[in-house]
Amino acid sequence: MSLLVSDAYAQSAGGGLGGGGMGQIVILVVFVGVFYFLLIRPQQKRMKEQQAMLSRLASGDEVVTTGGILGRIIEVNDTFVTLEIADGVRIKVQKAQITQLMPKGTLKSA
């Protein structure tokens, strides 16, 4: 029995970090780089574009909300936007809920 234990200790002692540790670090760095360029960077770009679009909103623009409501902007405040979704029907939505700026005349054709 002591012969088997000695062999087990001998096998585990020789397997240190040698050259395999550096390879694992390189793979981890490559994985983080791919993750950054495929997920994080495009999301940051979309957020910047969304913020720029929200800052350019003005009365008369036609927009779509996250709920799919199409309307014309009547009034723009710091946090809220008043939309006219039909003749005489106005609603207030949070500015952050505006997802898309539509071309002029979209509301008439819809």
Q: 56-104, pLDDT tens digit by residue?
A: 999 999 999 999 999 999 999 999 999 999 999 999 999 999 999 999 8
Q: Which of 32, 89, 71 shows the shortest CA–CA distance to 81?
A: 71
pLDDT (average), residues 12-33: 77
Q: Which of 104, 94, 91 shows the shortest CA–CA distance to 62?
A: 104
108 has a pLDDT exceeding 90? no
51 and 73 assigned to the same domain: no
The strand ranges marked E within 48-97 are: 62-65, 70-76, 80-86, 89-94
In this prediction, what percent of the chain has a pLDDT beyond 90?
73
Residue ranges making up the domain that contains 46: 19-56
87 and 104 assigned to the same domain: yes
CB neighbours (10 Å) of residue 50?
14
Structural domain count, the chain? 2
